[in-house]
Amino acid sequence: MNKFTIISGKTSEVLAKKLAEKLGANLLKTQLRVFEDGESKITIKGRLEKNKIIVIQSTYPPVDENLIQLLSIISKAKEIGTEVITVIPYMGYARQDKEFLPGEIITMKVIANLLKSVGTSKIIVVDIHSAIGLNYFNIKIQNVSAIPDLAKYFLKIKLKNPLVVSPDQGGKHRAKEFAKFLKTDFISLVKIRNRRTGKVEIKYTKFNEIIGRDLILVDDMISTGGSIIKATKFLKKQKCNRIFVACTHALLGNSAEKKIKKAGVTKIISTITIPGKTSIVDVSDVIVKAIL
């Protein structure tokens, strides 16, 4: 009998297959039917055994639908398995980790309670948007980094005096880690966002650090691409060379990829936490280490 059984939700089938191969685990897929009223009916294809079960499902859009499916799969796995480890490569709602304005609900706290209630004993996430969200979990949760794997990809590209750039101060540590792997330096732009209007301004003054260099804009996720587009236009004015974008989670809603490239980005590189055209970098190794 295999030590692990992996149940793959519909959002993470590629990553689930890679994990199964590396763990020598039995892989069970799920069959999904969505009714006209929006309800999901999930059937696990194959026989569940009394061993450790790994459930893997990203909760990217439609977030609520994929979250309910994840909770349902965990609940079924708990009925039979000796332990349920949940891998959520992309954790939806991670941006709602505190009460920014009076009356706002901290949805990340709600999600944490739901995941515990259905029976998971450990959760593994990849580059969660905010570490604050981890504090709401009363079960084991491990946040692993895709930065080493993303950086390795760029080591294969011939770059002209590369400079790693964080589009805001919040990503400063991420850019620093990325730059360390490339053995180069980094900068962080100052992004000022009006929380009521959503309008963003970028400020930076050390322009000599940018001129003529290939830039790698590093972020944990790209949703609509607004911040990346703003940063790209700003950096292009400073006479840089090519601009690449590296991110863990490429949501790329509202034609974001097209808009980002139109702004002047040469290429967007993301991981397979969310499947898509830019999803090139494999993060299964770091997830396997967390499981074992």
Q: Of residues 158, 191, 206, 289, which has the active-site annotation?
A: 191
- Partners of residue 246 on adjacent β-strands: 218, 269
How far is 152 from 283, CA to CA, in rounded Å? 12
CB atoms within 10 A of CB 19: 23
Look up 191 and say whether it is catalytic.
yes
First vs last C-alpha separation in the chain: 17
Distance CA 145, CA 38 (A): 34
Scanning the structure block, which residue is given the tokens 């994990």?
19
Question: What Å distances lie between residue 23 and 44, 51, 274, CA to CA?
Answer: 20, 14, 21
| Among candidate residues 165, 168, 70, the one with its CA nearest the CA of residue 125 | 70
**208 contacts 236 by C-beta, under 8 angstroms:** no
Residues marked active site are found at: 191
